[in-house]
Structure 1
Amino acid sequence: MKDHLDLSIYPPKSQYKHSCKNIFFSYLPNNTNFQQGYLGVQQTKIAGILHIRKPITNPLLTDKIEIIFTGKEFVKWSDVEICNNINKKIIELSYIIWESSIKGVYQKITDLDLPFEIPLPDDLPDSFSFKQPVKAQISYALKAKFSKPTKYFGLKCGVKKVSILCPITRWNLPVRPTLQPIPMNGRRSIPLSEGVEYVANLDQTIFGIGNSITIPIELILVNMRVYVKKIKIFLKEYHQLIKKKFIHYDSEKVAKSEIYGDQLMLVSGTMNRYEVKAGLDLVSNNQRKPILPSVRSDHIVIWHKVIVKVILCNASKIKFEKEIKIVNSLCEEDALMITEERRKSNWSNWSKMDKLSAKAVYNLSIN
């Protein structure tokens, strides 16, 4: 039975891979996940509490309880290509959080709360999952493992483990725009002699999920018969799954917007020059499928391109594209808080070093 009324600190049942109604996890108070800290920006850990609530008539018999944090990279091909499935462990960290006071003697546990903390290495990739056309994911899990006898006074023992999914998110500090515009690669099938000149730029190539991309586009239509019908802007996400020489590749549009020709405005004082700032919102909640962050692991690569198509009347379309990186980006407020924490930490460390140096000089002088 869960002791607290605040159900928000308990992970949903759907998150459990192996469950027991009398043994369960909770987040720390005032938290809604196990991850503590912004991985990739600051020192991060997994923290929570393991609760044991067994009846007196059926206690948990154990001499040791471990918490194990694991991460796996998984790819499932079709039934024909099943021999190429990937199920690779990328991390495993194990900590003993309780041990019998008498080694090898199994204790009867009915009511126990065990807090735990697991520091994470900085290079872990994000959790993610996609199912079409091939199932692939990087996932993490927490497992409580109980060292148990197979029988106790002739009775079989119960639960041996409880495990739960533990999503991990990587973060980036906010990315500042560059001082110089970054040209997008432009392609078209019409020669310059047809009288269409164009340029498109970005001011950065790393964008956060939830942010917006702004693309300044300039068009000069020397040929007065040519005009703009539509400008299409979209973010394309590419998935590449690799195992030796076996490679699966697919792509899909995960965000898009459009500008119609009659929305374009002439630059003041000109008759044929147009400037427009095309925009694209990277808000996963508004998309048919969530935008995944860019990933590069041993077997799974995810990358993104911004693509702009200018549909012209009486001329072939123009296409711009640029590979970009998609990340989970901190808001300015959180970034400032972390920067301030680092500053205070560095100042504290320097003060300690100064005191130690002063003490060392003093000791040398009296000797």
Structure 2
Amino acid sequence: MTLLQPPKSAYSKASQKIWFTYAQNANCFQQGLLGLTDSYIAGNLYLRFPEAEPLKAKRIEVSITGTEYVHWTEQVLRTRCVYDASTNTYRTVTYYETIHYLHEQQILNRSLLLWESKSLKDNGTSNKKLPEKITKMNLPFQLSLPDDLPPSMNLVVGRIYYNVNAKIKRKRNFWKFQGSNKSVKCSCLITRYSPMPMPAPVRWVEWDNSKAWKRGVGYNISMAYDTFGPGNPIIVKLALKFLKPDSKIKELFVGLKEYNLFRASGATKLNKGYVKERRILGNQFPKILNAKNEWSSVLRIDALDKVSWTTERYHINVYHKVKIKIRFGIFGPKNVNLERKVNIENIANVSNYEYKNSE
């Protein structure tokens, strides 16, 4: 049976004679639902060398490594004094200096010995291993993943990435400029999962009080959850009450805003922006009000698998807010700005899986 392989583009160190495949019936290295069940990396290491030029190896290892990386640059305006020999004076010049902010840390390194030569030097009287000739070898492997491992992510100036690595200790070949180590490195996507969250009602109400009458518009807005993701989209229930005949709004806005906070070299950098938006223009409301001058609807924001997951780490922090805005225009009353910090998680359907801590 032919097993699926990572694409060539996944290799940062490749070899025509050594490659990885996924485990049987799998299309990735990761097995299990990390965060919900036991999870591990599984696959096979294939070695194919010609009979005339076999691999002379002492040991073969495989490992899974993970790295947290943050890097950005900033242009800082500087000044300095420069001596002018023609006038025998000093003058001040300005210039831009490029400052690099960098953080790089290994967050995972687990290895497994797959094979080791059994040949010993001097007929077994020494512990030094002798290389053995290898032409064809298939080595399955499995490495467990820590429960608290963060998922792979690729943000603007920061990323968390993982690699499956093969390291081969071999005999040196000075004629071919080959060292004692041969390595193959392939990227490995790590995904975390979360269970369906418990309801956590959120509600904003100014329906028929003094603030609503002063504004001319009352509102009753609610969400049933504060954690969202695939299978649990953001659903916002909205109701507006127009309390005065001349009450108008310019726009009703509901959006999911993402914040990426990075720390490196003692500095911080914040990127933010809306990743999902829904709008209703104010000129539509006169057509859809009921007899009581009220309007109600449900706005849904889904496709959250394309949004970065909420991640709380010191150097990479991703968080989200649902923002709701009732805008009245320049000459209208003060805009209504509501917000709630929420979590965006990779919510999985776990009906067919057993939780780690279940009995």
Interval containing the TM-score (normalised by the shorter chain): 0.7 to 0.9
- Of 18, 23, 31, which aligns to 1:23? 18
Contact kept in structure 2, 1:67 and 1:97, CA below 8 Å? yes
Paired letter, 2:276 = A
Contact kept in structure 2, 1:185 and 1:322, CA below 8 Å? no
CA distance in structure 1 between the aligned counterparts of 2:199 and 2:171, rounded to whole angstroms: 61
1:337 paired with 2:359, answer: no
Contact kept in structure 2, 1:184 and 1:322, CA below 8 Å? no
**Structure showing greater Rg:** 2
Q: CA deviation at 1:211?
A: 4.0
Q: CA deviation at 1:68?
A: 1.3
Q: 1:210 to 1:74 in 2, by over 3 A?
A: farther
Aligned position for 2:217: 196
1:321 paired with 2:336, answer: no
Aligned position for 2:115: 98
CA distance in structure 1 between the aligned counterparts of 2:334 and 2:245, rounded to whole angstroms: 15
Contact kept in structure 2, 1:265 and 1:275, CA below 8 Å? no
CA distance in structure 2 between the aligned counterparts of 1:125 and 1:319, rounded to whole angstroms: 33
- Of 130, 138, 142, which aligns to 1:113? 138
Paired letter, 2:203 = P
Contact kept in structure 2, 1:63 and 1:147, CA below 8 Å? yes
Contact kept in structure 2, 1:184 and 1:321, CA below 8 Å? no
Would you tell me which structure has more helix in proportion to its own residues?
Answer: 1
Instruction: Write out aligned runs for 1:67-78 (5 A).
Output: 67-78=62-73
Contact kept in structure 1, 2:220 and 2:240, CA below 8 Å? yes
Paired letter, 2:37 = Q
Structure of higher RCO (CA pairs closer than 8 Å, 6+ residues apart): 2
Instruction: Write out aligned runs for 1:266-305 (5 A).
Output: 266=289, 270-284=291-305, 290-305=306-321
Q: Give the number of equivalent residue pairs.
A: 319
CA distance in structure 2 between the aligned counterparts of 1:34 and 1:302, rounded to whole angstroms: 25
In structure 2, runs of 5+ residues without a counterpart are 75-97, 121-128
- Of 191, 197, 207, which aligns to 1:169? 191
Contact kept in structure 1, 2:32 and 2:38, CA below 8 Å? yes
CA distance in structure 1 between the aligned counterparts of 2:31 and 2:311, rounded to whole angstroms: 22
CA distance in structure 2 between the aligned counterparts of 1:341 and 1:81, rounded to whole angstroms: 46
Percentage of pairs with the same residue: 28
Secondary structure of 2:244 counterpart: coil
CA distance in structure 1 between the aligned counterparts of 2:202 and 2:265, rounded to whole angstroms: 35
Secondary structure of 2:99 counterpart: helix
Would you tell me which structure has more strand in proportion to its own residues?
Answer: 2
CA RMSD in angstroms, aligned pairs only: 2.5
Contact kept in structure 2, 1:210 and 1:282, CA below 8 Å? no
CA distance in structure 2 between the aligned counterparts of 1:204 and 1:144, rounded to whole angstroms: 44
Q: CA deviation at 1:274?
A: 2.4
Contact kept in structure 2, 1:127 and 1:139, CA below 8 Å? yes
Secondary structure of 2:353 counterpart: helix
Q: 1:341 to 1:145 in 2, by over 3 A?
A: closer
Is 105-114 or 224-233 further displaced after alignment?
A: 224-233
CA distance in structure 2 between the aligned counterparts of 1:18 and 1:86, rounded to whole angstroms: 23
State the TM-score, normalized to the length of structure 1.
Answer: 0.80
Paired letter, 2:49 = K
Contact kept in structure 1, 2:50 and 2:135, CA below 8 Å? yes
State the TM-score, normalized to the length of structure 2.
Answer: 0.81
- Of 34, 37, 47, which aligns to 1:39? 34
CA distance in structure 2 between the aligned counterparts of 1:211 and 1:60, rounded to whole angstroms: 52
Q: CA deviation at 1:283?
A: 4.1
Paired letter, 1:194 = R
Secondary structure of 1:139 counterpart: strand
Contact kept in structure 1, 2:63 and 2:166, CA below 8 Å? yes
Secondary structure of 2:45 counterpart: strand
Q: 1:183 to 1:63 in 2, by over 3 A?
A: same
Contact kept in structure 2, 1:45 and 1:117, CA below 8 Å? yes
Q: CA deviation at 1:93?
A: 0.5
In structure 1, runs of 5+ residues without a counterpart are 285-289, 347-367
